[in-house]
Amino acid sequence: MAHQGEPAKLRWGELEEDDGEDLDFLLPPRQVIGPDENGIKKVIEYKFDEDGNKIKITTTTRTRKLANARLSKRAVERRSWPKFGDAVHEDVGSRLTMVSTEEILLERPKPLGSKAEEPKTAGDPLAQFQKGAVLMVCRTCGKKGDHWTSRCPYKDLAPPSEGFVDKPAASDAATATAGATKGAYVPPGLRAGAERTTGSDMRRRNDENSVRVTNLSEDTREPDLLELFRPFGPVSRVYVAIDQKTGMSRGFGFVNFVNREDAQRAINKLNGYGYDNLILRVEWATPRAN
Amino acid sequence: MRPILMKGHERPLTFLKYNRDGDLLFSCAKDHNPTVWFADNGERLGTYRGHNGAVWCCDVSKDSSRLITGSADQTAKLWNVQTGQQLFTFNFDSPARSVDFAVGDKLAVMTTDPFMELPSAIHVKRIARDPADQTGESVLLIKGPQGRINRAIWGPLNRTIISAGEDAVIRVWDSETGKLLKESDKESGHKKTVTSLAKSADGSHFLTGSLDKSARLWDTRTLTLIKTYVTERPVNAVAMSPLLDHVVLGGGQDASAVTTTDHRAGKFEAKFYDKILQEEIGGVKGHFGPINALAFNPDGKSFSSGGEDGYVRLHHFDPDYFNIKI
């Protein structure tokens, strides 16, 4: 590319302003010379520079034919074969051939090392949650990404029912677990009270020293249950099943103890205990058959 | 890479074949019209109209002038590649499954399915230079294998015919006498139906794909097992790169189960394996049905896959494909 005349430093931003005058029609038309037998092509253009001077720009390019050894003579000939069969009547709009809009890559398989690691991390829930740390919020101390509520080191320091007080009174079932991850979407399958067919880690947590309490009165709420079970030892979770439609208690709940002995004592003591005019039935929660 | 999608067929693809120069791509499908495409940009050149059933297989002569197709309408047809004109029809008593031109294009091997009490058979036909002289007689007729013969190809120097099919046994026949020369033994052989068979560029070895979720590489002359490529889905189609030591396996779950499962579960990728190390190199996704057909361009720089979804996907490799290291 060769610039003749003053080396024009054209900035496109300034070009815009020049367009206001729009004197381009005064310029001689664009000229294209060649390409000649050597493949040299000249393009002569005229422009105004920022001072309003007319400048001539000559662009010289050489086009070289790429030696395409790959294509045989026959293949080149075939290129010009007329279409036949159904292709004859092919309308332009039929678009039989399209270039994929999606970039497809040759996806490399996972390195062997990463595959071997996966089962290991699955065994240790804490390690696995390091990845999805945002999900892990302690309901007792409010610390994010460090531990689950049931493993909170400050559990005993926290006021017993604090976790439930700031909850809306008619807490729907979802908040039992989703309360911690406020705003975050919890798939129905993972919500409390839903049939848990997946999420073995969640289930394991809920099954840990879990005590089932049935024959609860309808008025019983989670804080009441906590109050009832708290004297036996640190409680990590209290849950009362609530009917999603009516908002009424379904008459049963679960209490998780940090220590198994505490849970056993609670069962021994409270099974058959009269509570709110009903006789409680307290027993080990059986893991869901699944 | 951005694959080129060719939607000319209305039914699942069955077979893909490049001509020797690698500028034309022939596709067969369960609709009745084999189609030829330009292999660089995927433009449709023409269709071969005349079959009245699913077309299972095709082969093109070395000079790209003749096309032979085998169809479920119990015929195999010879076509003029350029005009789409039908030159000759070989009539059988059962569906034709596989066709293959011999080196020199003077002979062709065709297989027919077991049908109405008829056993499967391998036919060898002489292909006349002038289509007017063409006759339908078989030079040789081989019977014996139980079940369908999915593929029969010529061995080196046209001396042998290699066949494989539903009985999972790979057999080598003498192409002159029709005598069984070798067969794969039970231990090293496939355990289920062999669905596809592809020769290497020089014909010294060949690759078979089977529903037993593996592909095996065999020595053509001795029929010894060289390599095994294990995958996690039935293999419907295999291809070998003529340029690099790569093999491609295509497959996926049974077509009837596709709609009931997540598309990811189908594993409809074309899987690349290192031919020597037998290790997976990568997968090319895209089809939303099992891959039924795979073919490598003879220059090794592109390959195409045909799926149960009716699409042919033509992939021109990115430059970094040629430097992949394991």
Taking the CA of residue A130 and the nearest CA in chain B, the distance in Å comes to 27
**Mean pLDDT across the stretch B254-276?**
73
B33 has a chain A CB within 8 A of its CB: yes
**Residue-wise pLDDT tens digits, B36-84:** 999 888 888 999 999 999 999 999 999 999 999 999 999 999 999 999 8
Q: Which residues is A98 bridged to in the sheet?
A: B5
B43 has a chain A CB within 8 A of its CB: yes
Q: Do B299 and A75 touch (CB under 8 A)?
A: no
H helix or E strand, kind and range, residue B210: strand B205-210
Chain A residues with CB under 8 Å of B42 CB are 97
Nearest by CB to residue B5, choosing from A78, A79, A98, is A98
pLDDT tier, B121 (very low <50, low <70, confident <90, very high otherwise): very high
Positive or negative: CA dihedral B45, B50, B53, B56: negative
Taking the CA of residue A36 and the nearest CA in chain B, the distance in Å comes to 30
A140 backbone φψ class: left, alpha, beta (φ>0; ψ -120 to 50): alpha
Q: Do A87 and B44 touch (CB under 8 A)?
A: yes
CB atoms closer than 10 angstroms to residue A61: 12
pLDDT tier, B126 (very low <50, low <70, confident <90, very high otherwise): very high
Give the C-alpha separation, A80 to B42, whole Å.
Answer: 15
Q: Do B324 and A106 touch (CB under 8 A)?
A: yes
B 169-198 → A contacts, CB under 8 A: none
Give the C-alpha separation, B223 to B68, whole Å.
Answer: 27
Give the C-alpha separation, A267 to A259, whole Å.
Answer: 13
Nearest by CB to residue B47, choosing from A78, A79, A87, is A87
B18 has a chain A CB within 8 A of its CB: no
Residue B256: the pLDDT is 65
Higher pLDDT, A180 or B119: B119
- Domain ranges for chain A, please list them: 24-62, 207-284
> Could you tell me which residues of chain A have a Cβ less than 8 Å from any Cβ in chain B?
70-72, 74-75, 78-79, 81, 83-88, 90, 96-109
DSSP secondary structure string, chain A?
-EE-SS-----HHHHHHHHHH--GGGSPPPEEE---TT-EEEEEEEEE-TTS-EEEEEEEEE------TTS-HHHHHHHTPPPBGGGGG--GGG--EEE-SS----BPPPPHHHHHHHHHHHH-HHHHHTTTGGG-B-TTT--BSS--GGG-TTTTTS-TTHHHHTS-TT--TTHHHHGGGTTS---GGGSTTS---S-HHHHHHHHTTEEEEES--TT--HHHHHHHHGGGS-EEEEEEEE-TTT--EEEEEEEEESSHHHHHHHHHHHTT-EETTEE-EEEEPPPP--
Q: Do B84 and A84 touch (CB under 8 A)?
A: yes
- Count of structural domains, chain B: 1
Residue A218: the pLDDT is 84
Nearest by CB to residue A104, choosing from B1, B23, B35, is B1
Nearest by CB to residue B3, choosing from A81, A104, A107, is A104
> Are the beta carbons of B197 and B220 closer than 8 angstroms?
no
Taking the CA of residue A214 and the nearest CA in chain B, the distance in Å comes to 39
Residue A203: the pLDDT is 47
CATH number of A207-284: 3.30.70.330
Structural tokens at position B18 = 């490049």
What string of pLDDT tens digits covers the 290 residues of chain A? 444 445 556 666 665 555 555 666 677 788 888 777 777 888 888 888 888 788 888 888 877 766 555 677 888 888 888 888 888 877 655 678 888 888 888 777 765 444 433 333 334 444 444 444 456 667 767 666 667 777 666 665 555 444 344 444 444 444 444 444 456 777 666 666 555 444 444 445 556 788 899 988 888 888 888 888 888 888 888 888 888 888 888 889 989 888 888 888 889 888 888 888 888 889 888 776 54
Taking the CA of residue A195 and the nearest CA in chain B, the distance in Å comes to 21
Domain CATH number, residue B37: 2.130.10.10
Q: Do B282 and A86 touch (CB under 8 A)?
A: no
pTM over 0.80: no
Chain A residues with CB under 8 Å of B2 CB are 99-104
Give the C-alpha separation, A107 to B284, whole Å.
Answer: 6
Quote the longest CA-to-CA distance of chain B: 54
pLDDT tier, B95 (very low <50, low <70, confident <90, very high otherwise): very high
B2 has a chain A CB within 8 A of its CB: yes
Higher pLDDT, A218 or B124: B124
Q: Which region among A34-38, A137-141, B140-144, B282-286 has the lowest average model confidence (pLDDT)?
A: A137-141
Residue A73: the pLDDT is 83
Taking the CA of residue B125 and the nearest CA in chain A, the distance in Å comes to 27
Residue B226: the pLDDT is 93
Q: Is A67 exposed, middle or buried (0-12, 13-18, 19+ CB in 10 A)?
A: exposed
Nearest alpha carbon to residue B195 among B208, B186, B205: B208
Structural tokens at position A244 = 């999603």
Residue A38: the pLDDT is 75
Taking the CA of residue B273 and the nearest CA in chain A, the distance in Å comes to 11
Structural tokens at position A2 = 């060769």
Q: Do B285 and A108 touch (CB under 8 A)?
A: no
The residue count of chain B comes to 326
Place of tokens 């042998």: B160
Range of the domain at B107: 3-322
Chain A residues with CB under 8 Å of B285 CB are 104, 107
Residue A39: the pLDDT is 77
Give the C-alpha separation, B261 to B250, whole Å.
Answer: 19
